[in-house]
Structure 1
């Protein structure tokens, strides 16, 4: 088996430099959440949208064609959206596959033990399970309302003291409509 290596195109190298500048080892080893670091974090948007906007700005500044930018935006914005993204373009579905594989071990046996060992050797997990949950929380604890209807609400419910998950049925029954 060939050794796992990082892409070395000019664009990939510049993206890696951006991640190294604004991320940490966790981001480097599992680079799918660029919307979490303070440099790209908004006060009012889902972290996935923050990441998609950061990716769009990065690609736009490098003259990447608009159709590719839209594809990347969708892939980043939808990377945690279970049950929808797999019906999008292959790039978006593959990003979601990679994230699901990395974060929760979805389809774990589709990749050989040898390949997994090689990737983990190059990009160590280093207590990933706990660190990623805390990184998620750090990225949106100041805007927990943006997690409504997402898997990120689970993070808030588990780790954010006093957080009460909004309930859709409650929202419908207590809407301002008089019926």
Structure 2
């Protein structure tokens, strides 16, 4: 089992079952990405001396992008909500306390929403931290070379993760472009599809049915 600076994947039946489920559901790019998100988040939590539940953090990290997979491509909801609901259903089958289920749901649903998770439970904040580190390099210098190398050696980024993850986002959202309004997810559609038209809140306000 990989251990990085005292951090390892939780050794429980739930964690093992989730690992197998996500491995069977996601391709290698998303599976390795999700696992790295857990490690970046957990290492940050340890460095900042936060109190968090490692198992709940692992659940949220592993499910956070499942809404991008093929079975959800025709969904008309935000992919984050699809992932949060999938995790909730999985956890309820294990009789996990509802308060913990809600915490995982929020961590997944809010992981692309800036400015809010850091004011909530540590598990919610740390999923966003981990995703931001792995996708955009946010907080990169907060990790040592040894930590980065160990995690990437165990869960590789592949030859072109940057374009790979953009493509995964695009495939997961291109059939539901309206769900990207109000998030930075519309950046993905604009980058990949020159025909994509962003919604504009000012135009929506000015063309609302109100007289003034």
| Aligned residue in 2 for 1:15 | 18
Give the aligned length: 179
Partner secondary structure for residue 142 of structure 1:
coil
Contact 1:4 1:122 in 2 (8 A): no
Cα distance, 1:125 vs structure 2:
0.6
Q: For the residues of structure 1 that align with 2:30 and 2:14, how far apart are their CA atoms? A: 18
Alignment RMSD, CA only?
A: 1.5
Structure 1 unaligned spans of 5+: none
| Aligned residue in 2 for 1:30 | 33
Q: What is the CA deviation profile of residues 8-51 of structure 1, one whole-angstrom value per residue up to 9, with x for unaligned ones?
A: 31111111111111100011101231111123455211011111
Partner secondary structure for residue 67 of structure 2:
coil
Contact 2:5 2:147 in 1 (8 A): no
Contact 2:112 2:128 in 1 (8 A): yes
| Aligned residue in 1 for 2:139 | 107
With over 3 angstroms needed to count, the CA separation of the structure-2 counterparts of 1:17 and 1:41, relative to structure 1, is: farther
Cα distance, 1:128 vs structure 2:
1.0
Cα distance, 1:70 vs structure 2:
0.2
Mapped pair 1:136 → 2:169: yes
Structure 2 unaligned spans of 5+: 35-63
Q: TM-score, normalised by structure 1?
A: 0.94
Q: For the residues of structure 1 that align with 2:99 and 2:175, how far apart are their CA atoms? A: 33
| Larger relative contact order, structure 1 or 2 (CA cutoff 8 Å, min sep 6) | 2
Deviates more, 1:157-166 or 1:110-119: 157-166
| Aligned residue in 1 for 2:76 | 44
Mapped pair 1:150 → 2:183: yes
